Every structure is written in structure tokens, then in C-alpha cells.
Amino acid sequence: MKHNELNHLVEQLKRGDLAVFDAIYAQTRVGVYYTILAIVKDVNLTEDLMQETYLKMLESLPRYRKRNQFQAWLNTIARNLAINLFNRRKREQPIDQETDSSLFGVTVDQQEKAYALQDLLAVLNEEEKIVIIRYVILEERHKDIAKHLNKPVGTVTWMYQNALKKMRRKAGEDDDGA
């Protein structure tokens, strides 16, 4: 969906048309999900924070200005909520997901995929993670990512290729070790 179409749906939602919420959610959920997952690194917490993000979005919607890119604005809400939760959880006692898996409601397969993604992203520095998530998940162009990072397009393209190489090497290590 183009930004203009998304902005049109957002304007309808601002006017009280809740019927468009599902369409907005469908178009923005992947970006919100991976924005949160990159910070909290937990599938269940990510899903909880997604709900909180959309509730916060509905609450803050009257203050949203059309000149902003809605997906970026929504991702900022998600990011802030995730960082707040991450900081709170640093002070809490951790629980082992394997021994208490019934508490988490995540199948082993889902856990393994989430861990595999976390492992692959772990080999990247923060800017490389941003480039990968924005390009692959949010489907942004290198030009837009470069503008966001305040870097030349060539540098962002190089960072993307370098990040892919790192992730492939890491995936190759995991394949050899299994």
C-alpha cells in the first residue's frame, strides 16, 4: 500500500471510522513487529507490545500530523514502548523459557525460528540491523534508509551487502554445527 493510501486510511480513522483499523493494522503490523522484536528479543513480549502500540496509536492519533510518515510515527511508538519495557525487565528476575514453556505459550518451532533470527541479527551492529530491518521487513528503499541514517546511498548499499554476508556466514556456522 502506498503512503498516500495509508495516510488516507489514517485520516478516516482520525474522523472516527474504526472500520479502517484492520486495513491499517494489516499494512503496518510487520514493521511494528520487527521494530519491537529487535529490542525485546522475545516473541511473546513482542506480541503484547504490539497490542499496546496500537492502543497507544489510537490514543495519540489526534496529535498525529499528516506531514509525518505514519509507519515511521507508529514504529517510533513501538520502539519507545519496547525500550521502556526492556529497561524495566532488566531489573526483574529472568525465567527459563525451556523449563517453563507452558507459561509462554510458544511452540518449540516458533521459539527456534525466533532464536535463529536473533542469532543472525546478533552478528550485526545497530546500523546494520536498522538497514536490514528497514530494507527487508519494511521494504524501504536504500535511498530512504540513507536519508534516515544521514549517510550516502552507496554506504547504505554497502552496509546492506556486508550485513547479508555476515548473516550468511553465521547461518553457515549454524548449519555446520548442527
> Over the chain, what is the mean pLDDT?
81
Domain assignments of the chain as residue spans, ordered by start: 1-106, 123-178
% of the chain residues with pLDDT over 70: 80
Residue 81 confidence class, pLDDT cut points 50, 70, 90: very high
Question: Could you tell me which CATH class the domain 1-106 is placed in?
Answer: mainly alpha
Q: Is CATH 1.10.10.10 correct for 123-178?
A: yes
159 in Cβ contact with 127 (< 8 Å): yes
Is pTM beyond 0.75? Reply is no
Predicted pLDDT at 50: 93
Asked if 49 and 56 count as a contact pair (C-beta separation under 8 A), the reply is no
Helices (H) and strands (E) in the chain, counts: 9, 0
* pLDDT in the model for residue 100: 54
pLDDT of residue 177: 47
User: Using only C-alpha atoms, what is the Rg of the chain?
Assistant: 18
Q: Report pLDDT for 178.
A: 44
The pLDDT of residue 148 is 82
Q: What is the pLDDT of residues 94-134, one digit of tens each?
A: 555 555 555 555 555 666 766 777 777 888 888 888 888 88
Whether pLDDT at 89 is above 80: no
Return the half-sphere exposure (C-beta side, CA atoms, 13 A cut-off) of residue 148.
Answer: 17
pLDDT > 50? residue 5: yes
d(CA 68, CA 14): 15
For 34-38, 57-61, 167-171, which range has the lowest pLDDT when averaged over its residues? Answer: 167-171
